[in-house]
Amino acid sequence: MADDKVVATNREAYHNYHILETHECGIVLTGTEVKSAREGRCNLKDSYAQMRKGEAWLLNAHISPYSHGHRDNHIPTRTRKLLLHKSEIIKLASKTQEKGLTLVPTRMYLKKGHLKVELGVAKGKKLHDKRETIKRREADREARSAMKAGARLRE
């Protein structure tokens, strides 16, 4: 992961879901999509993955049209095929059929020149879970700032 260049992250996924596990997968793209993704013009905010006929598909992922493209530019929110091994597809398909589990892309990154998508098996958070996460984050932030203030006083 040290040599990976993160192109897009889905921060909303961590807010709305408990990510139980993640899987790395490739993605089938056209030339202008790859160029646009390398420029970092991707958005995974409302995207999700779905299993159809033994294949994994990424839906609603927005990759902006390439800035130097022409009439052959791609459609920004088209459905894109995800590349996984058959055993991984079977495993993920069985998990998504469980109650309340879904596949959510958490980030898109470049690894050794290839664009990869990290899929998270997620369970939806309830409103009280979201509030608890926010409270915990604020408490951690306050503790860090108190420790910094204490360190400044000792100097």
Per-residue pLDDT of 79-124, as tens digits, reads 999 999 999 999 988 888 877 789 999 999 999 888 999 999 988 8
pLDDT of residue 58: 92
CA atoms within 13 A on the CB side of 54: 3
Residue 59 tokens read as: 């839906």
Rounded to the nearest integer, the mean pLDDT of the chain is 86
Task: Tell me the per-residue pLDDT of 3-31, one tens digit each, with 9 for 90 and over.
Answer: 688 888 998 888 888 899 999 999 998 88
DSSP letter, residue 142: H
pLDDT of amino acid 106: 93
pLDDT given for residue 2 in this prediction: 53
The predicted structure's pLDDT at residue 104: 93
Does residue 113 come out as left (phi exceeding 0), alpha (psi in the -120 to 50 range) or beta? left
For domain 5-124, is the CATH number 2.40.280.10? yes
Backbone angles phi, psi at 98, to 5 degrees: -70, 160
Contacts of 66 (CB under 8 A, 6+ apart): 32, 33, 35, 36, 39, 73, 74
CA-nearest of 47, 48, 54, 52 to 89 is: 54
